Amino acid sequence: MGSPERIREVARRVARFAGEGHQLVVVPSAMAGETNRLLALAREIHPEPTARELDVIASTGEQVSIGLLALALQQLGVRARSYTGWQVPILTDASFGKARILAIEERNIREDLEAGFVVIVAGFQGIDDDRNITTLGRGGSDTTGVALAAALKADECQIYTDVDGVYTADPRIVPDARRLDTITFEEMLEAASLGSKVLQIRSVEFAGKYQVKMRVLSSFTDVSSTDMGTLITFEEDENMEQAIISNVAHNRDEAKITVLGVPDRPGIAFSILGPIAEANIDVDMIIQNASTEGMTDFSFTVHRNEYQRAMKILESKVKSQINAKGVVGDDRIAKVSIVGIGMRTHAGIAAKMFEALAKEGINIQMISTSEIKTSVVVDEKYMELAVRVLHRVFELEKPPIQEKMKP
């Protein structure tokens, strides 16, 4: 919600749904820029603010939004009532700044819904066992929405974002990228973890765990629009003609590090990654080459922001300890991935990907696969090209057959 005018638009949309007889729980985010403003204020006071107090401050952004949205609905004649996280309450663990929802006491909300209220719940926040305010971390409002949908056994959890759905690739890179009517939960989870910014991965995980139907919609389309965005579905079987590949994902948030000439013996991976984990640095891809003459190279990727810190740890603590030949790194890489549950049942998909990239002269630096995705690391400068090539080769611009046959 960007501004008072945007809040009024959200209210009109909610009012329309309410007028159609739906029981609605709405989870607004903070107003645009508000969370950043609050965090900057905190950092102005304390360069490394303590997490508990930071959450006390940051949670006010959503608290203002619920009050304003309730007022906007009341202005339209809709009965509405706001709830902060602690008023619901939404119970979380005590991990300030990245808390996980443990339970939602939904009784009061249910009573309000039965009484005809639209219920507005502050996203991104909860309380721990000691009544401390917690926040769920960035994108936490989506997670709150999914968790509430699960607790209330809602028909659907609609996520309004700045895009109008999930696409076969980023339309800024692939002009003929196609919006998907549906995507399976597993594909969405992979896409989110591979760089799709549409949904926060934790909200998708939550939806998966509790089988919540999510729908991604644009908050910028006309209020009266009947556009249905992209549904994230659990019913794979209904889509017999599901495309093999659902989408091409990309990100350039990672950096690659290789430890050269490592003795190939048990425990070597832990010797390298243990100190990295201790420093709270998340590792994504991990690759160990087959050894030659008892020596191997060990590569992994970290977030680009952690690249310098990870290099330092390896150079100062790890290298001499494991007697490695050297440590090299590269923070100008990109990860490009194809995602699709069809990969489970169709052979040769990865090979087709590698062939397409090779034809364009794009060198593959690392490969990582799972049951429904294949990712490659390439030089950053080839990223857009790789995405376009893969989108074309897998014909993602064309709808799957059963969709084509719709009137």
Binding residues (CB under 8 A) for a second copy: these are: 4, 7-8, 38, 41-42, 44-46, 49-50, 52-54, 56-57, 59-60, 63-64, 66-68, 70-72, 74-75, 81-82, 84, 86-87, 131-133
Question: How far apart are CB 246 and a second copy at their closest, in Å?
Answer: 40
In angstroms and rounded to an integer, the radius of gyration of the C-alpha atoms of the chain is 24
Q: How far apart are CA 397 and CA 394, in angstroms?
A: 9
Q: What is the DSSP string of 141-208?
A: HHHHHHHHHHHTT-S-EEEEESSSS-BSS-TTT-TT--B-SEEEHHHHHHHHHTT--SS-HHHHHHHH
Question: How far apart are CB 276 and a second copy at their closest, in Å?
Answer: 29
Nearer to a second copy, 74 or 218 (CB): 74
Nearer to a second copy, 36 or 50 (CB): 50
Helical packing angle, 34-45 and 60-75, nearest 10°? 150
Nearer to a second copy, 72 or 276 (CB): 72
Question: Residue-wise over 5-18: b if at least 16 C-beta within 10 A, else e?
Answer: ebbbbbbbbbbeeb
Residues 6+ apart with CB under 8 A from 291: 264
Tokens of 7: 């809040």
Q: How far apart are CA 227 and CA 223, in angstroms?
A: 10
- Angle CA(243)–CA(249)–CA(251) in degrees, nearest 5? 175
Question: How far apart are CB 146 and a second copy at their closest, in Å?
Answer: 23
Question: How far apart are CB 222 and a second copy at their closest, in Å?
Answer: 21
Question: How far apart are CB 363 and a second copy at their closest, in Å?
Answer: 48
Nearer to a second copy, 223 or 269 (CB): 223
Nearer to a second copy, 64 or 286 (CB): 64
Q: Is there a cis peptide before residue 89, judged by omega within 30 degrees of 0?
A: yes
Nearer to a second copy, 56 or 356 (CB): 56
Nearer to a second copy, 7 or 366 (CB): 7
DSSP H helical ranges for 241-370: 268-278, 307-313, 319-322, 349-359
Question: How far apart are CB 224 and a second copy at their closest, in Å?
Answer: 21
Question: How far apart are CB 95 and a second copy at their closest, in Å?
Answer: 18
